[in-house]
């Protein structure tokens, strides 16, 4: 019973499998096609799959076109090639084997068809000869009944043994055979007992055929039903006549059963056509939905939109598979449209992500540069300038845009870590600034006391350098610290008999040494150099004004006195410029 329940779906299942196989064939590589073709060519059933060979031919041709297009693109993109060089596609190693197999297959098909045609011709001739013998038997050899029956049975056995003939000749040939066979039975002058025996025997055989047909009518497998009824009808036609008393009943019962079977077959295919029409309607709706996605995709500008559309397309493919199959001719046509639309959408999606990847690579490279700059700045103690620089890097980061989420987060965490390191250090520095500056003031005051007691010039230089290396003191203590420092230096200079110029030089050398031994020395040296140059430029501008003003002084006593003051100012300015220039040399 379980097997009978499954049989109604067998025909649909076979059709589904055929369509699935066909769709699989459309995705084969050249290697796979060659491998399957070689198996088919060697098989005895090579004639059973002409549609599969057609699919292979189309797929192989398609792959060859793609290969040629790829080669042409590579040829056109070659940087170095002669102007006279002509593109010649390279033949795939499997192309020659494909042609060989195709020729072998075509030759076998031709040979098979020729053999079939010759066999049908011979069968037709044999049956025509037997028909003539039966005709002669009916018309000429009825005098000897025993001999006639012997010949008749011999003709009948031979007739049943001979294979198929051309379908266009079969119907008339069978009609003529039945006609002469019936004439033989009705014209032969045999005893009633023998005739009744044959009639009774034929009636029994026909009842058996009717019972088999009724059993067949209860089948749910349409393919078995179609094949079975043809076999039963062929057997029915091969049985001789029965008596007139039972013939009408047998004929009526026979045709009623036959018509029941054919009605069932027709109903099955009608239901199948209706189901396929519904499937076709559903798939047309899916094609329209695919068209809507394609239309929307023309305005897509983000990966999120493309990813969502890809999910929608996958859902449409699931719905497509779940819908079932339409009629084969319609299924192939609509699947081709649906697949073409889907492939086109995926190609444009891949192109978008290829371009996005290229852009993403540029963004990643730019963000890595910002990460390196942030790493270089994270340990800086130039709080103001570095803060401004890192804030600018953060703005640059935002302006770069985003890449794939996980990668973007990884890059951002690395960048932010360097920024956080700096700003945390800055916060910690300023949180403890008052305590440190108080300690710095205490240290500087202690060194000032030591400076005043310096016993050598070298000791003085070292103490001045130590004082310079100590960081800032509280603002309200700056004047006191500087005053103590300057008073101590003057006291030491007096004790050590160091003149003012030598002392100025010594103090500057100590300052430069302190800068070079500290953090961010290059920046501080640059700042010191810029400061000195600005002072030189300022004094030079004053000297130019002084010289211009001196030309206006007259010969009066007051003017002469004012002129002396200006000349003194000019001399002092020139000395100062000379001193600064010496300091610039020391900074190099």
CA dihedral 244, 246, 248, 252 (to 10 degrees): -160
Residues 6+ apart with CB under 8 A from 156: 181
**Domain regions of the chain by residue span:** 191-326, 358-431, 433-518, 520-588
Sign of CA dihedral 133, 135, 137, 139: negative
**Phi/psi at 144 (5° precision):** -100, 95
16 token code pair:
């589904």
The predicted-structure confidence for 129-187, as pLDDT tens digits, reads as follows: 888 887 776 666 555 666 677 787 888 888 888 877 787 777 788 888 888 877 777 66
Candidates 311, 317, 415; CA nearest to 370 is: 415
Which single residue is written with the structure tokens 């590589």? 29
- d(Cα 94, Cα 16) in Å, to the nearest integer? 31
pLDDT, one tens digit per residue, over 12-44 is 445 444 545 544 555 678 788 888 878 887 877
CB 518 within 8 A of CB 528: no
Contact status, residue 196 vs residue 241, Cβ threshold 8 Å: no
Residue 268, judged by CB atoms within 10 A of its CB (0-12, 13-18, 19+), counts as middle
pLDDT < 70 stretches in the chain: 1-27, 78-87, 137-147, 186-195, 513-515, 517-521, 548-561, 563, 587
Instruction: Say what the pTM is.
Output: 0.39
Tokens of residue 559, six digits? 């003017």
Place of tokens 């990847």: 357
**Tokens describing residue 481:** 């610290």
Cα 67 from Cα 62, distance rounded (Å):
9
In the prediction, which pLDDT does 424 show? 92
Residue 80: per-residue pLDDT? 64
CA angle, residues 304, 407, 300, in degrees to nearest 5: 20
């Amino acid at each position: 019973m379980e097997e009978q329940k499954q049989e109604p779906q067998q025909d649909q299942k076979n059709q589904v499998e055929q369509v699935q196989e066909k769709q699989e064939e459309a995705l084969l590589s050249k290697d796979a096609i060659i491998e399957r073709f070689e198996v088919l060519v060697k098989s005895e059933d090579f004639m059973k799959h002409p549609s599969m060979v057609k699919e292979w031919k189309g797929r192989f041709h398609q792959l060859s076109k793609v290969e040629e297009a790829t080669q042409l693109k590579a040829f056109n993109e070659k940087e170095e090639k002669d102007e006279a060089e002509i593109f010649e596609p390279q033949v795939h190693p499997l192309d020659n084997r494909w042609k060989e197999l195709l020729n072998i297959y075509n030759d076998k098909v031709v040979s098979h068809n020729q053999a079939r045609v010759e066999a049908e011709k011979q069968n037709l001739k044999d049956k025509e000869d037997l028909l003539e013998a039966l005709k002669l038997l009916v018309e000429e050899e009825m005098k000897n009944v025993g001999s006639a029956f012997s010949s008749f049975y011999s003709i009948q056995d031979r007739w049943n043994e001979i294979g198929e003939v051309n379908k266009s000749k079969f119907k008339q040939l069978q009609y003529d055979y039945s006609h002469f066979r019936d004439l033989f039975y009705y014209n032969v002058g045999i005893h009633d007992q023998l005739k009744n025996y044959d009639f009774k025997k034929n009636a029994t055989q026909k009842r058996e055929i009717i019972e088999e047909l009724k059993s067949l009518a209860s089948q749910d497998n349409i393919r078995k039903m179609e094949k079975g009824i043809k076999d039963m009808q062929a057997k029915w036609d091969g049985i001789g006549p029965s008596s007139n008393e039972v013939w009408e009943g047998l004929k009526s019962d026979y045709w009623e059963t036959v018509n029941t079977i054919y009605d069932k077959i027709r109903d099955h295919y009608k239901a199948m056509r209706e189901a396929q029409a519904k499937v076709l309607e559903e798939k047309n709706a899916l094609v329209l939905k695919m068209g809507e996605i394609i239309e929307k995709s023309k305005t897509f500008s983000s990966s999120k939109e493309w990813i969502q559309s890809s999910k929608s397309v996958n859902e449409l493919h699931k719905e497509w598979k779940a819908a079932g199959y339409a009629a084969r001719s319609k299924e192939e046509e609509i699947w081709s449209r649906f697949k073409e639309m889907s492939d086109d959408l995926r190609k444009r999606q891949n192109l978008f992500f290829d371009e996005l990847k290229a852009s993403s690579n540029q963004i990643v490279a730019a963000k890595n540069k910002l990460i390196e700059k942030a790493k270089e700045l994270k340990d800086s103690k130039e709080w103001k300038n570095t803060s401004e620089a890192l804030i600018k890097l953060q703005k640059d980061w935002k302006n770069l845009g985003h890449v794939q989420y996980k990668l973007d987060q990884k890059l951002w965490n690395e960048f932010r870590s360097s920024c956080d390191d700096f700003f945390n250090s800055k916060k910690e520095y300023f949180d403890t600034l008052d305590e440190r500056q108080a300690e710095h003031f205490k240290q500087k005051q202690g060194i000032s006391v030591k400076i005043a007691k310096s016993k050598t010039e070298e000791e003085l230089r070292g103490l001045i350098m130590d004082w310079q290396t100590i960081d800032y003191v509280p603002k309200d203590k700056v004047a006191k610290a500087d005053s103590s420092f300057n008073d101590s230096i003057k006291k030491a200079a007096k004790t050590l008999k160091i003149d003012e110029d030598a002392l100025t030089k010594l103090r500057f050398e100590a300052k430069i040494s302190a800068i070079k031994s500290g953090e961010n020395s290059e920046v501080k040296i640059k700042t010191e150099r810029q400061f000195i140059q600005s002072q030189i430029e300022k004094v030079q501008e004053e000297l130019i004004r002084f010289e211009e003003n001196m030309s206006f002084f007259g010969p009066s006593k007051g003017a002469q006195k004012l002129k002396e003051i200006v000349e003194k100012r000019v001399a002092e300015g020139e000395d100062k410029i000379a001193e600064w220039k010496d300091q610039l040399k020391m900074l190099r």
